[in-house]
Amino acid sequence: MNKTKTKEDVIKYVQGVSIKRGWKLNPETDSTLDMLVEGLRDYFNMVGYFNCPCRESQEDMKLDRDIMCPCDYAPLDIEEYGYCYCSLYFDPNFDFSKFVEMIPERRSLE
Higher-pLDDT residue of 57 and 14 is 14
- What does the alpha-carbon distance between residue 88 and residue 50 come to, in Å, rounded to a whole number? 13
CATH number for the region 7-90 comes to 3.90.460.10
- pLDDT tens, 57-72? 899 999 999 999 999 9
Contact at 8 Å (CB) between 84 and 73?
yes
Contact at 8 Å (CB) between 4 and 45?
yes
pTM: 0.92
Tell me, what's the pLDDT at 1? Answer: 44
90 — phi, psi (to 5°)? -130, 155
User: Can you tell me the mean pLDDT for 17-22?
Assistant: 98
